[in-house]
Amino acid sequence: MPKLTIDALEPGMVLAEDLTTSEGRMLLPRGAVVTEAHIRTCRVWGIAEAVIQGDDDEDSDHPATLEELDPEVLDACKIMAAQRFVLNPSSHPVVKEMAKLFVLRQSRDLDAERARWMLAANPHDDTVDIFAPPPTEEKNINPNEVVKQEMELASLPNIFFQISESLKNPRSSAAYVAEVISKDVALSAKLLKMVNTPFYGFPSKIDTLSRAVTIVGTNQLTNLALGVSVITAFDNVPEEFFTLKEFWLHSVTCGIIARILAGKVGLPGDEKFFVAGLLHDIGRLVMLKNHPQASTDVLRPAKVGRRALISVERTVWGCTHAEIGGRMLKSWRLPAFLEVLVHHHHNPMEASMVKEACVIHLADFLTHCLGIGASGASLVPELNTNAWQALKLSVGDLAGIAKQAERQSNDVMAAFFPEG
């Protein structure tokens, strides 16, 4: 496992061994995700180096190169990748790297016998379903009306609005925020479970909300509480195209990648990025809940055709799930930061906070590339190359980001869905 000097550490790296002082005091446990604050702490304690997870860590049993794959498995996975990435130019370095990571990930659960069957069947998802019922006449969806209808249902718990108000109040103390959140026992339990996962990497157990608020930060934990409380509001959504568990796995992974990307590009407020990623597709759930037939009218043709889901939405609805989601967050009186990033995660260069919106756009793109969870889109959305350039990341960063996201998503999902 790679051993790096403290000066070579970067936010988002994952520790492969406990990080201790010369006196044996543990500062960070194995599996912790390194942040800028952690690096500063290491310098204060005089720690010179750390062992991080790399290509020879516990995932080494998985193939790391395409050459290691069985030829038939490789061919089958390449067909899947060609279909999935059809909206993106195969020559772009980011697309090429992510297609390779997709193939490697898909190959884990595919043996030669099943690959041969797939190659013989040669399924295509781009055929037109001539037996599908015609679309309904429910077109030109008005985002404001959709949001108004959802608000009238009052589906969010009261605790959500109390937390939201405490976030806006600059005088809210850690004790007050902890008191507000503690009114919801289930929410409190999920938050405590989450802050004790390697996603945060604290060296000792955090057993009270007041301590969690103090250590994680008032704004950070409040934002996290808002995101978690939204999840509970959507438990009766039709699951024809994806299960809620798959949807939230996609969303959680997007949030995790957004958090990692924000750290890599030096943007503060990593919890806000996690919540923005968590809620980026909330407009799709709102539509499925209130307009199930109109949702089917876009999800079905997008699934069987070579069209971007957001393009079908514009054609059929006259608006997109991103617009609906942004307006939903505004109606819920969430911070403008979240509203802007959700609204513009498909068109980040038009946002008032361009770099921040680029983070969510890229996080969504990478999550789709990896095929983690499901959002209703069977194709990888088109990468905005200007967004990629704006973040000034390296293609070489992508494999590490993907590996970290996979590890952390399991921990976070276990906290959100403890029943398994």
pLDDT of residue 280: 95
pLDDT score of 344: 97
- pLDDT on residue 395: 94
Q: Which amino acid is at 144?
A: N
What pLDDT was estimated at residue 155?
Answer: 58
| CATH ID of 3-51, from 3.90.105.10, 3.20.20.70, 3.30.420.40, 3.30.1280.10 | 3.90.105.10
- How far CA 210 is from CA of 32, 132, 137, 179, 387, in Å, comes to 22, 54, 52, 8, 38
- pLDDT at position 365 is 98
Please give the chain's pLDDT, 420 residues, in tens: 567 777 778 777 778 788 887 667 777 877 777 887 788 888 777 787 888 876 444 455 677 788 888 888 888 888 888 888 999 998 999 999 999 999 998 888 777 777 777 666 554 444 334 344 555 544 678 888 888 887 765 556 677 778 878 777 777 787 888 888 888 888 888 888 888 877 776 767 888 888 888 877 777 788 888 888 887 778 778 888 888 889 999 999 999 999 999 988 989 877 889 999 999 999 999 999 888 889 988 988 887 767 899 999 999 999 999 999 999 999 888 889 999 999 999 999 999 999 999 999 999 999 999 999 999 898 999 999 999 999 999 999 999 899 888 888 888 888 777 665
The sign of the dihedral angle between the CA atoms of 139, 141, 145, 146 is: positive
The first and second tokens of residue 176, run together, are: 């007050």
Q: Is 12 exposed, middle or buried (0-12, 13-18, 19+ CB in 10 A)?
A: buried
**Encoded amino acid at 230, one letter:** V
Residue 20's DSSP bridge partners are 26
pTM recorded for the entire structure: 0.80
Distance set, CA 168 to CA 12, 164, 222, 268, 334 (Å): 29, 7, 10, 18, 9
H helix or E strand, kind and range, residue 97? helix 93-107
Length of the chain: 420
Contacting residues for 131 by C-beta, under 8 A, at least 6 apart: none
In angstroms, what CA-CA distances link 15 with 19, 50, 164, 170, 205? 8, 7, 34, 35, 18
Q: What is the pLDDT of residue 164?
A: 79
Write down the domain spans for the chain.
3-51, 66-121, 125-155+234-420, 158-220
Nearest to 140 by CA among 286, 12, 313: 313
Instruction: Tell me which residue has tokens 């370095």.
Output: 93
Q: List the one residue out of 147, 105, 170, 97 whose CA is nearest residue 282.
A: 147
CATH superfamily of 125-155+234-420: Hypothetical protein af1432 (1.10.3210.10)
Quick one: which of 165, 247, 231 has its CA closest to 194? 231
- Angle between the 398-416 and 93-107 helix axes, to the nearest 10 degrees? 50
